[in-house]
Chains A and B, each alone.
Chain A
C-alpha cells in the first residue's frame, strides 16, 4: 500500500507549484494565478478525503448504501465561489496598481517607490 497516499502527493505537488509561482515571479497577475493553483490544490485535498471506495455522490436514492462524505463538498462548494470573488478583488487591485505605477512588476514598483522617497 505504498501508493495509498498518492492523492496527497499530487495535492502537495500542485500546492508547491502554486507556492513557487507566488514567491519566484514578480508579475502580480502571475502571482494571483499561482495563488489560485494553491487554492485549487486545497480543494482537491478536501474532496479526495471525502471519497470512499465504492461510494456514490451524496444524493439520497434507494438501494445505495455507501455515500461519499457530503461535508467537505459543502465547504469546498462555497470556498470556490468565495475564491473567485477574492480573486476578482486581487485583480482589481492589480489594475489599480497598474494605473498608479504604470507597471505590475514587483521590482519596478519598488524602484519607483524608492525614487519617490
Chain B
C-alpha cells in the first residue's frame, strides 16, 4: 500500500514519462486489489490501468509534445487548499469503522443476502458476476451506455476521413518502419492468438472464476492493439473494418437492452431473466451469458475504436501547425 503512495509522490516532479509511471501505478493498485480479495477488480485494473490507459496516454503525448512547462499557478495556495481539504477528510475518518472489521455498516445491508442467497437464486458461484449481471443489471446497463457514449465522443472529436492517396503514403512509410522488428513480429504472431483465446476464456468463464465481459473486452482489445503497433495502421485497417467495429459496439448495447425488453414483454420486470427458460436458474444463466456478451462486445469494440482514432490521427497528420485566426 505504501509503495503505491511512494510512487505517486515521485510522479509529481518528473516530465511526461509520467505515463510510464502511471502504468506502474496501475499495476501496483491491481496487486493491492488482489491483497484486498477483490480479484475481479484487480483483473480489470491490471488490464486497464497497466495496459490500455498507458498506451492511450503515450499515443496522446506523441501528438501533444512531451515536455511540460515548469510554471505552476500559485503552488503554495494550491498546497494550502490541498492540505486543508486533506485534514478535514482525516478528521472525517474518526467516526469510520475500523479497517477489516466485520461489523462495519457496509456489511449489514444487502451484502449478506448476496452472499447467502445468490447460489439458490442465480446459481453462479462468482458473486461479483451475479450481482453485476443480474441483481444490478440495470446499473451495468447504464455503465455500458456510458462507455458507448464515450466511444461516440472520441469518434466525433478525432475521426479522420481517409483519402486513397493518404493510405498509399502511409503504406510506404509503414513498410519501411515495421519490417525492422522481425523478432518482435514473430513473437507477437505467436502471442496474439493466445491473448485472444484467453479473452474468450475470461468472457465465458466469468460465472465460475474471476472474469466477465468488461475484462474480456479490454483483453481482446489489447490483442488488437498489439497487432496494430507491430504491423502498422494500414495493415490493421485492412484486417479490421472500422464501420464493422462501430456496428459491433452498437449491437453490444442493443443485445444487452433487448434482453431486458424481452423480460418486459413477457410480463416480468426489466432484466428479470427467469423468463428466458422454463427453469428460473437456467434462465438466469442465459441472461447473464447474453448480458456479459453484450458488455464484452461493446467494451472491446469501443476500445478499438478509441485506439484507432488516436493512432490514426497521429500517423495521418504531421505535427499540427497552429492556425492563426
Contacts and interface: CB of A to CB of B under 8 A. Distances in A.
A65 B225 CA distance: 42
Given A33-B18, A70-B127, A81-B299, A1 B143 contact: no
A77 B47 CA distance: 12
Contacts of A84: 48-49, 52-53, 56, 218, 303
Contact of B99 (A48, A70, A71): A48
Nearest to B86: A16
A95 B107 contact: no
Contact of A24 (B1, B49, B78, B322): B78
B36 A60 contact: no
Interface in B102-152: 102, 104, 106-107, 110-111, 114-115, 118-119, 125-128, 131-132, 136, 139-140, 143, 146-147, 150-151
Interface in B66-96: 68-69, 71-75, 78-79, 81-83, 85-86, 89-90, 93-94, 96
A40 B22 CA distance: 11
Given A51-B36, A85-B146, A40 B29 contact: yes
Interface in B5-36: 5, 8-9, 11-12, 16, 18-19, 22, 25-26, 29, 32-33, 36
A49 B60 CA distance: 35
A77 B68 contact: no
Contact of A85 (B18, B65, B93, B302): B302
Chain B: interface secondary structure? helix
B158 interface: yes
Contacts of B110: 71
Contacts of A66: 102
Given A4-B98, A33-B19, A47-B36, A19 B131 contact: no
B60 A30 contact: no
A49 B1 CA distance: 14
Interface residues of A, number: 86
B157 A71 contact: no
Contact of B310 (A21, A95, A98): A95
Interface string B34-70: 0011111100110011001100110011011100110
Interface of B: 1-2, 4-5, 8-9, 11-12, 16, 18-19, 22, 25-26, 29, 32-33, 36-41, 44-45, 48-49, 52-53, 56-57, 60-61, 63-65, 68-69, 71-75, 78-79, 81-83, 85-86, 89-90, 93-94, 96, 98-102, 104, 106-107, 110-111, 114-115, 118-119, 125-128, 131-132, 136, 139-140, 143, 146-147, 150-151, 153-154, 157-158, 208-210, 212, 214, 217-218, 299, 302-303, 306, 309-310, 313, 317, 320-323, 325
Given A32-B57, A53-B100, A67-B127, 13 more contacts: A8-B96, A10-B4, A28-B64, A30-B18, A40-B49, A52-B107, A68-B36, A70-B128, A77-B40, A82-B143, A82-B150, A89-B150, A99-B317
